[in-house]
Structure 1
């Protein structure tokens, strides 16, 4: 089985999103085999369709610029490339994210672009399982959880590929405990 450890960045504002819609603007993922060996990575920007102009808040938070998304393809093309890379058609795989929000966001964008969502399962919420395994009453963010494990966050926070790579550190350290 392959494990697809992924993270998303999305349009964001201070307050409610225009038209009530948040769209994915970056997807980052690292693929591991059952031994925790890295098999490859995927990172692409996505041009939002409903709210194509990024807010200044979003750019400050993610460091993703308007130029990054304007030079990118729409969700339907990028997600097709991601699904091919993850080999969701032929391979046994498991999607893994830090929390449930990324799976929900992926499902919402698939529905917005009229793309099937059945490939989004199986999925595990690594954050929930990690904190349960650790016996923690609180669920901490990825950066704090890494520090608790004696690891440092590397890369740029709130960038999909950096978040996915850092999540991969925790995921592979405990690869034998995940329940799916």
Structure 2
């Protein structure tokens, strides 16, 4: 909890999905940013311990939207996703992520959740900020903890789903690990390492997608107050991988 903020929240949620709008007024002065909005994203996926898994699928699709000028957390999104290639989660996967078969069995498949996420973006962002075939590069950018989410996992998931083009708005993103290392000149890897380095307490459960998004959001806000300009972009490669791998 940030003691320098006050908030009012309206939310609708169920066991399997959450879309929450939040208005937060911050007393901290943010540094000027290239992007007015950042969307923090952190997928969780089917996995096995110490082995590569064929047809790895997204099982949690969370995001947190922040305003970089005011440091407001505007809204958050979270839906579980029902895998179709390997519908029964491994014991290791459930222990790692906290996600159960009961939750994924009741969830929608990926194409529907992707549409719901896009609808959420359209509802929360200015009308001209994002569409299926364009993104205003001066207004919004995604943030991930590494390149795995959008460079490997999403292309692999789209291949499994079939007949779904790669959404244009996902074609560039900020890898916060690279941005962090460049700004602080620190050899810190991973979300927990960044939290420890900044002396920020871990919120929730590591490898819960929404909790990870909220923790990465804390890191983003701290970096902005420390005069970091989020501008180190990663881009979707021309060739997509044949098989996604277990998230490291």
Do these two structures clear the TM 0.5 threshold for a shared fold by scoring above it?
A: yes
1:84 & 1:4 partners in 2: Cα distance?
A: 14
The one of the two structures with greater contact order (alpha-carbon pairs below 8 A, sep at least 6) is: 1
RMSD (Å) for aligned C-alpha atoms: 1.6
Q: Which runs of 5 or more residues in structure 1 are unaligned? A: none
Residues 103 and 139 of structure 1: CA distance in aligned 2, closer, same or farther (over 3 Å): farther
Matched, 1:101 2:148: yes
Match of 1:121 in 2: 171
Given the alignment, which residue of 44, 66, 71 partners 1:9? Answer: 44
For 2:67, the equivalent position in structure 1 comes to: 33
Per-residue deviation, residues 13-65 of structure 1 (Å, max 9, x unmatched): 12121xx2110000111001232211100011000011111011101111110
Q: Aligned-pair distance for 1:160?
A: 0.5
Between the two proteins, the alignment pairs up a number of residues equal to 177
Q: Does 1:57 align with 2:104?
A: no
- Corresponding residue number in structure 2 for 1:165: 214
Match 2:200 to one of 143, 151, 160: 151
Bigger radius of gyration:
2
CA distance in 2, matches of 1:38, 1:103: 22
Q: Could you list the runs of 5+ residues in structure 2 that have no partner in the other structure?
A: 1-35, 123-129, 234-248
CA offset digits 1:61-90 (Å, max 9, x no partner): 111101010010000000111112122317
Give the Å deviation of 1:107: 2.5
Q: 1:112 to 1:93 in 2, by over 3 A?
A: farther
Matched, 1:142 2:191: yes
DSSP-derived class of the 2:83 partner: coil
The structure with the greater share of residues assigned to helix is 1
Q: Is 1:112 aligned to residue 164 of structure 2?
A: no
3-state SS in 1 of match to 2:143: strand
Normalised to the residue count of structure 2, the TM-score between the two structures is 0.67
Q: Which structure shows the bigger proportion of residues in strand conformation? A: 2
